[in-house]
Amino acid sequence: MIVQCKRNATENRVGRPAIQQFKGVIEEQNALRGYVVTTSTFTEEAIESAQLSDKLILVDMQSLLGWHAEAPTFS
């Protein structure tokens, strides 16, 4: 599993070139799954490119917030 994190401002969306490059890394490393995680969102072109691979998962800020809200608390 490979994870790439992008700490971007809200208005600085992750674009298709970054997704295409990461798809190449996933294939080159023969990874089972790859995640691109960002504090912003993705462009439509990036989403379309990601949908061409069943190994790539996009995680935007809304998804991160959802994971945080649903995370179990540890004592």
| pLDDT digits 0-9 by tens, 10-67 | 999 999 999 999 999 999 999 999 999 999 999 999 999 999 999 999 999 999 899 8
* Cβ–Cβ under 8 Å, residues 20 and 45: no
The residue type found at 72 is P
Element (H, E) at 38: strand 34-38
> Is 17 part of a structural domain of the chain?
yes
Q: What are phi and psi of 37, to 5 degrees?
A: -115, 130
Residue 43 domain boundaries: 2-70
Looking at the 3D structure of the chain, how many domains does it have? 1
Q: pTM score, two decimals?
A: 0.88
Q: 60 in a domain, yes or no? A: yes
Strand, helix or coil for residue 14: strand
